[in-house]
Chains A and B, each alone.
Chain A
Amino acid sequence: MKTLSSSPWIGPVLALAGGAILAFGLPVLVGDQAYLLRLATQLALLVTLAIAWNLVGGFTGYPSFATAAFFGLGAYAIAVAQQAGWPAWSGFLLAAVLSALLAAPFGFAILRLRGHYFAIASLMLVTILKEVTTGWSDLTGGGMGINLPGAGGNPTAIATVALETMVILAAAALALSMIVAKGRLGFGLACIRMNETAAMGAGIDAPRLKTIAFTLSAAICGLAGATYARWIGYIDPSDVYDVMWSVRPIIAALIGGVGTVFGPVVGSIVYIAFEELMWRNLLTFGTGALGVLIALLVLLLPAGIIPGILRRRAS
């Protein structure tokens, strides 16, 4: 008989339950501190994106820069759907499905590339989607941006709902990540990361597994983008297809530990705290100071916080 702690389902269930408690507890706890509400939502957003990235960049070892592409696509999907009068839930569905539908063939094609080549190809997707969105102004409003209906509603209510949705999404992503890590998919991905040729030799269908990971990741990013769009209320192409949406999750994952389940979570917290400190204290060198910090982290702690701690414990 299995003990409770070794059951593969206990982690994900705990993550979801914890997420639910946080999602509905935080607004009560934070109350009228609107700024904290905002910060917490941002944190949950970064956690979600970092976990999504980690499925491809961490578990599989393919450094994807496409996060911003699916994030932006999700944001525009729900914005356009809501302008056409669709209910919110169908907008979320559309965001996830569109992202996945784009990710599957595109991922299948570019996941044949390795290392920098893959990174650049995935980055180009961001550029392409950004320009297509800008150019297709009949549908998207182009460079003028797009307003989400209902954006003028009660701001506190919008902020609270956004926090709840975002935290639940983060928890769901974490649960998914745990399931993947413990399951057959995660095992396959780990084999691919260590030695893809050997994995193929051992009968692992690498192209299929990589594409699944990429597609899952894209769907999560799409949902995060949709949540974000409903939260902010006004989006334009240069905001939602900003490359920083790709870069920040990577740095968060790097800080916490690439390829670990909790690395992206820990890394996001540290990153947001740093970013906030820099931003508050350095008026015109905030971006540069962030650069200094990232450089130091990469040089001093290249494996990330969680692997760093584990190693110390082991020795």
Chain B
Amino acid sequence: MLLGGLSATALAPGFAFGQATNEIRIGAPLPLTGPLAPEGRKQKRGYDLWAAQVTKDGGVDVGGRKLPVRIIYSDYQSATPRGVQACEFLVNQEKAHFLFSPFGSGAAKAGSAIAERYKIPMIAPTASSVEVYDQGFKYLFGTFTPNSTLTEPLAKLVTEKAPDVKKVAIFSRNDLLPLSLANEMRKSSAARNLSVVYDEKFAIGTLDFAAALTQMRAAAPDWVFVGGYINDLVQVRSQMRDLGMKPKVLTMIAGPAYEEYIQALKGAAENVSSAAWWHPSVRYEGEDLFRSTANYVEVFKAAYNGDTPDYAEASASSAGAILQLALKKAGTLEGPAVRDALASLNVRTFWGPVHFGATGQIDSLTPPVFQIQEGKAVVLVPDEIKRGEFRFGIA
């Protein structure tokens, strides 16, 4: 035991760095290995793109000086405790001025306590649950609106366009975000007198959905709502096809926003509806370094051999862009001053209008509802960026 204490103490000083004020140090704990690796790597692409663009522009404007940006990554192996440890490590040992939160609501919530303690502004690019933000913390800011902002416009659209849709089936992965989405969906259904005829969860890591879907088919729903991640959703969709299930409306969150979803399913992706916090086909003009959504998509494609950015990647880039705008406004790297600048920010960006509410969660964004039509995601709501009409039935 004694040895343990000593070796831990001996290990540390060698790693401590002096505080460098000639660069902006941002700590970014990411799940680069483990179950969340696909998401972690997406986020990294978003951050890297922002940092590369900053370098191209000669740095970030802070109080009249142009400072270079350094993002310090740390892989927390998809384990939340390690994510918290990474936050502390990045602040304590790597002397990060700012933090981008770990992935998802759970880890962001756990990590935000570290940011609060050290008065380090933290931007969460992938946390949507309101429970993350109602802890009374002042240093946490999130670029995702609450989950209800995804299900409500969908329910409104469907009931308006198809009053004959009465029976809803809800099927969700037993995991933080999908459960929360299913919950909101239940509320949205109840508010519109839709009857929920099937309501089940599936375990994380489920490979095969045939049995559950067979049971769902027997309930004959008009509207099937599935919450999960891309691997689950691709499999659920192809097995629905195998079983000949053709509900009038099929909604899936959060896979169809990813290009891989359409690639994997080809024709079977047609008419699947979804909602996301952002979509490459939205059109915003901004004061940030990317200037507009269209330009952001172009820059992204050029950097990543033609890939189209999805909301996860764009949100990561927007975290950088938003921080940059706040730094310009604050004119300093001091945590409290930058925090105040973030709290009072009211700007337009490629991500959309950015303003943070009292809890730190963005309240100025309208998530688009979209549908896969002819192999492309077509925005249906909101009206300003609408590109098509809702179509019913699936292949």
Contact = CB atoms under 8 A, between A and B. Distances in A.
Determine whether A and B are in direct contact in the complex, meaning some CB atoms lie less than 8 angstroms apart. Answer: yes
A284 B5 contact: no
Contacts of A126: none
B6 to A, nearest CB: 9
A273 B8 CA distance: 8
B119 to A, nearest CB: 12
B9 A284 contact: no
Interface stretch (B62-70, B174-182, B246-254, B266-274): B174-182
Interface of B: 1-5, 7-9, 11-12, 15, 32-34, 73-75, 77, 79-81, 84-85, 88-89, 92-93, 106, 109-110, 113-114, 117, 135-136, 173-176, 179-180, 201, 203-204
Given A238-B204, A287-B34, A35 B93 contact: yes
Contacts of B3: 265-266, 269
B64 to A, nearest CB: 33
A36 B12 contact: yes
Given A35-B92, A38-B88, A273-B11, 14 more contacts: A22-B5, A34-B88, A40-B5, A144-B179, A144-B180, A155-B114, A155-B117, A232-B81, A236-B80, A238-B204, A276-B11, A283-B73, A286-B75, A288-B33
Contact of A171 (B1, B75, B80): B1
A5 interface: no
A39 B8 contact: yes
A227 B5 CA distance: 19
A21 to B, nearest CB: 8
A33 B9 CA distance: 10
B1 A34 contact: no
Contacts of B175: 143
Q: How large is the interface on A (under 10, 10 to 19, 20 to 34, 35 or more residues)?
A: 35 or more
Contacts of A38: 85, 88
A19 B4 CA distance: 11
A36 B9 contact: yes
B12 A33 contact: yes
B75 A236 contact: no
A308 B247 CA distance: 66
B15 to A, nearest CB: 7
A236 B106 contact: yes
B4 A40 contact: yes
Given A236-B106, A287-B77, A167 B1 contact: yes
Interface of A: 15, 18-19, 22, 25-26, 29-30, 33-36, 38-40, 42-44, 47, 131, 134-135, 142-145, 151-152, 155-156, 167, 170-171, 174, 232-234, 236, 238-239, 242, 244, 265-266, 268-269, 272-273, 276, 279-280, 283-284, 286-288
B103 to A, nearest CB: 13
Given A40-B5, A284-B75, A287-B77, A232 B32 contact: no
A18 B3 CA distance: 11
Contacts of A272: 8
Contacts of A135: 174, 201
B113 A233 contact: yes
A142 B174 contact: yes
Contacts of B180: 144
A127 to B, nearest CB: 10
B110 A233 contact: yes
